[in-house]
Amino acid sequence: MSSSSNVKLEESWLDRLSDEFESDYFQQLKVFLQLEKKTGKTIYPPGNQIFAALDACPFEKVKVVILGQDPYHGPGQANGLCFSVHEGVKHPPSLINIFKELQTDLGLNYPRSGDLSSWASQGVLLLNATLTVEARKAGSHQNKGWERFTDRIVELLNTERENLVFMLWGGYAKRKGKHINTSKHLVLQSGHPSPLSANKGHWFGNQHFSKCNLYLEQNGIEPVDWKLN
């Protein structure tokens, strides 16, 4: 990662975020990440997947935004799409609870794969607030600049688009989405799908997936096929 002229990123996002890449805060973030790597720390996701959520979902094609917090910090888990893991990777607890809610909300079978890239290809932006993390250290790259960068992404979608669905799961996502214009977007809020929150009754039964599709259909937008393999 360096200046916007050689950042590898999907064109519609690169055009809108070029000022961020040139900014002082992002240059400081870049130096931080370079130092982390230089001292031998393992960073997730791999460098070519840091912007995977944006690459998979061009600006004009976004219709749903799911906000996560950190990438997964276990080996082989994070792939740049929030809550998603690659094919064949064991499903983390939050993802298991997402799939359980899909079962009860839409009657879908529990999927074999935890790869959510088919959602992304349909216009679901799976965006973490922080786009990197140190291995086995949750939250280790918070407050280094990523939040400002992803706030800008939310702001652009909020102002330039309309009839988007924002799914805000847990206090962190709710705070990040507090400025979304609810007169032109649908904002769905619930507890986080992590076991700590879900088992207290703050997640299951939120019916966000069916509510999302109903809103999209009411606004003449193709609903999301949430079914996975």
Do β-strands 43-44 and 133-134 pair in parallel, antiparallel, or remain unpaired?
Answer: antiparallel
Structural element, H or E, at residue 116: none
Per-residue pLDDT tens over the stretch 193-221: 999 888 788 899 999 999 999 999 999 99
pTM summary value: 0.95
3-15: pLDDT as tens digits: 454 678 999 999 9
| Contact of 133 with 70, CB cutoff 8 Å | yes
Report which of 85, 179, 183, 65 is spatially closest to residue 128, judged by C-alpha positions. Answer: 65
Q: What angle do CA 17, 149, 162 make, to 5 degrees?
A: 65
Q: Is 70 a catalytic residue?
A: yes
Rounded mean pLDDT of the chain? 94
Look at phi and psi of residue 205 and say left if phi exceeds 0, alpha if psi is from -120 to 50, else beta. Answer: left
SS3 203: coil
Section 28-52 average pLDDT: 96
Distance from C-alpha of 127 to C-alpha of 107, rounded to nearest angstrom: 26
Q: Which residue has the tokens 């079962």?
A: 103
Angle between the 11-22 and 146-160 helix axes, to the nearest 10 degrees? Answer: 130
Q: Output the pLDDT for position 7.
A: 73
**Using one digit for the tens of pLDDT, what is the confidence trace for 66-76?**
999 999 999 99
Distance separating alpha carbons of residues 92 and 74, to the nearest angstrom: 10
* Catalytic hit among 70, 105, 115, 225: 70
Tell me how far apart the alpha carbons of residues 146 and 165 are, in angstroms, rounded to a whole number.
22
Task: Provide the token pair at 50.
Answer: 């840091």
Which letter does DSSP use for residue 70 in this model? S
pLDDT at 3: 47
Sequence-ordered alpha helix ranges (H) in 23-88: 24-38, 52-55
